[in-house]
Chains A and B, each alone.
Chain A
């Protein structure tokens, strides 16, 4: 299957700071998604971004498919941004491959 690596594994930020999370993948993919897992366990879809750049409020994401990586930017972080951020890539058919996540803690 496709290998997905995320970095950093853990991140602690002061409220208001900016951060960049990275997702590297080992092969060509048909899609790429970023998720935020909240403290209650739910995985919230943030972006569907197989290529290009998207922005949604304080969050934005960029995927450079030819170089097999994606970046998630969080600006002016808030305590509610805390949680685990996962990157998932799609291969052929119904296969999805998940990274090990970046655990973000935003402190007031």
Chain B
């Protein structure tokens, strides 16, 4: 039980498909994050939400569209992706205060064909 759950764990989609990744945190945290990790590369921050408001959009292409309907749920909507978008997408949450810790979900492995 990680406290942060992601679905699906694996996703294969075509370049013309529309799909969504879902993240749910059970820790009562106020901040949620999407990170991208390509093969053998460090984590890249994509989006940060604090109390359901987007506070960071790290120059992510518009084919990635986040949604945070409440402080427990975070989605990443995917459309017209490219093969180079194939990666591990990690959701995380934190209490949202200085000196806090960050907790990750198990990740969603995405393959774009």
A residues with CB within 8 A of B:
30-31, 33, 35, 40-43, 45, 48, 50, 86, 88, 90, 92-94, 96, 98-101
Which residue in chain B gives the minimum CB-CB distance to A31?
Answer: B99
| CA gap between A40 and B42 in the complex, in Å | 15
In contact, A50 and B104 (Cβ under 8 angstroms): no
Residue numbers in A under 8 Å from B105 (CB-CB): 42
* Residue from A42, A86, A94 having most chain B Cβ neighbours under 10 A: A94
In contact, B43 and A98 (Cβ under 8 angstroms): yes
Contact of B98 among A41, A42, A88, A90 (CB under 8 A): A90
Residue numbers in B under 8 Å from A40 (CB-CB): 106-107
Shortest beta-carbon distance, B108 to chain A, in Å?
9
In contact, B42 and A98 (Cβ under 8 angstroms): yes
Shortest beta-carbon distance, B94 to chain A, in Å?
6
Return 7 A-B CB contacts under 8 Å, by A number.
A41-B37, A42-B2, A42-B104, A42-B105, A45-B103, A50-B99, A94-B94
Interface presence of B50 (CB below 8 A): yes
* Residue from B31, B33, B99, B105 having most chain A Cβ neighbours under 10 A: B99
Shortest beta-carbon distance, B95 to chain A, in Å?
9
